Amino acid sequence: MKSMEELRREMSCARKALSPETVEELSRRIVKRVERLQEYKQARNVMIYRAVHGEVRLELLRGKNFIYPLCTGPGEMCALLPEGEGAWRKGAFGIPEPVREVSREIAPEEIDLVLCPCAAFDADCRRLGMGGGYYDRFLPKCTGAKFIAAAYEFQKAEEILTRSWDIPMDAVVTEERIYRRKEKR
Q: What is the DSSP string of 74-115?
A: TTEEEEEEE-STT-EEE-GGG-EEE-GGGEEE--GGG-SEEE
With contact defined as beta carbons under 8 Å apart, do 53 and 80 qualify? Answer: no
Based on the structure, what is the number of domains in the chain? 1
97 phi/psi in degrees, rounded to 5: -135, 150
Maximum separation of any 2 CA atoms in the chain, in Å: 48
In a domain, 9, yes or no: yes
The reported pLDDT for the residue numbered 138 is: 96
Show Cβ contacts of residue 140 under 8 Å, excluding neighbours closer than 6 positions: 167
CATH number for the domain that contains residue 23? 3.40.50.10420
Global confidence as pTM:
0.94
Mean pLDDT confidence for 11-38 = 97
* More reliable by pLDDT, 131 or 49: 49
In a domain, 185, yes or no: no
pLDDT digits (tens, 9 = 90+) for 26-85: 999 999 999 999 999 999 999 999 999 999 999 999 999 999 999 898 889 999 999 978
* Owning domain of residue 165: 4-180
Report d(CA 58, CA 50) in Å as an integer: 7
Q: Are strands 171-173 and 178-180 parallel, antiparallel or unpaired?
A: antiparallel
Q: Which amino acid is at 22?
A: T
pLDDT digits (tens, 9 = 90+) for 161-182: 888 788 999 999 999 999 999 8
Outline where 17-159 has alpha helix (H). 20-36, 38-42, 134-138
Q: Which residues pair with 73 in a beta bridge?
A: 76
Report d(CA 140, CA 39) in Å as an integer: 18
In a domain, 18, yes or no: yes
57 phi/psi in degrees, rounded to 5: -90, 100
Residue 109 has pLDDT above 60, yes or no: yes
Q: Which residues pair with 89 in a beta bridge?
A: 97
